[in-house]
Structure 1
Amino acid sequence: MIMSDTPRLPGLTLADADWLVQAALAVGTERGFPPLAVAVVDVAGEAIVLRRSDGGMPMTSRIAVAKARTALLALKSSGSVDLPGPIVDSIQHLYGGDFVPFAGGVLITDGGVILGAAGASGARAREDEEAVQTAVRRWQESRSTAGQK
């Protein structure tokens, strides 16, 4: 039974989130990164899709989600968060450890509107960010190309 009267949050669909995660994992493979975990969260910070590559460390799954949530909380890439340690500690306490100000979490936007965020963990922080940033850029390009047809 489909509940068409049930409202949904604006933003990403499951198909979008799947596409983004697969693209980020592919980037990691293309570039020879260690096994990644990649998460896509909605505008509420809840995971839509989370996948970890074979051989990836279990902790990378939670870190990927936390990096995506950090991007949402800060309204910018998680690696761009530049706060003193005591403030980071306080924010981590407020959000149950889901605030990780290291590269690897990026916003997913469309025309300046935030649709969600993506996070990766498992490689070096800059590589984590490169994987999700490239996936988001490819996704945005695929949407603009599809809209021109």
Structure 2
Amino acid sequence: MQTKAILGLSEVNALLDAAQREAEANGWKVTVAVTDDSGELLGLRRLDGASPMTAMISAQKARSAALSHKETQVFERMINEGRNAFLSAPLQGLMEGGVPVEVDGRVIGAVGVSGVKADQDAQVARASIAAVI
């Protein structure tokens, strides 16, 4: 029988806390979502002042990153470079800001961020993961 690492409540809270620190250090009003490896939401934190819409977008970015095992910037770049057929893929949140969480080369979840520029969303997500994993 195989075993795998998972994101427990303490790791989810640590990821959300680290993301919040990064966002607040830069004065960014964002929402951060954390999913498990199947894209199911484990935690969500909408910082004061973040648009309500960012809750849905951050969760979709995290889900897409978890299911695909890729950063969502890959999909945004693909679409921007003309591969418009990819818009029909059964994923949402195909904008930069979703980053898979990996342990020992295996995706165990993802962090999605929404609320600022795409590269800033990704910066918060990556900083969150780097601080915890």
Match status 1:62 vs 2:56: yes
Query: How far apart in 2 are the matches of 1:112 and 1:10?
Result: 11
Query: How far apart in 1 are the matches of 2:126 and 2:132?
Result: 10
Which residue of structure 2 lines up, in the alignment, with residue 12 of structure 1?
7
Does structure 2 retain, via aligned residues, the 8 Å contact 1:11–1:114?
Answer: no
How far has the Cα of 1:10 moved from its partner?
5.0
Which residue of structure 2 lines up, in the alignment, with residue 85 of structure 1?
84
Q: Which amino acid aligns with 1:57?
A: S
Does structure 1 retain, via aligned residues, the 8 Å contact 2:100–2:107?
Answer: yes
Query: How far apart in 2 are the matches of 1:42 and 1:16?
Result: 11
Q: Which amino acid aligns with 1:31?
A: N
Structure 2 unaligned residues grouped into runs of 5+: none
Q: Which amino acid aligns with 1:112?
A: G
Scaled by the length of structure 2, what TM-score is found?
A: 0.88
Which residue of structure 2 lines up, in the alignment, with residue 26 of structure 1?
21
Shift >4 Å, 4+ stretches: none
Query: How far apart in 1 are the matches of 2:49 and 2:126?
Result: 22
Structure 1 unaligned residues grouped into runs of 5+: 1-8, 141-149
- Structure ranking higher on relative contact order (CA contacts 8 Å, 6+ apart): 2
How far has the Cα of 1:103 moved from its partner?
0.9
Which residue of structure 2 lines up, in the alignment, with residue 117 of structure 1?
110
Deviations 1:37-94 (A, max 9, x none): 0000011211100010011100000000000111123211001222412222x11xx3
Scaled by the length of structure 1, what TM-score is found?
A: 0.79
Aligned length: 125
Q: Which amino acid aligns with 1:85?
A: N
User: Which structure has the bigger radius of gyration?
Assistant: 1
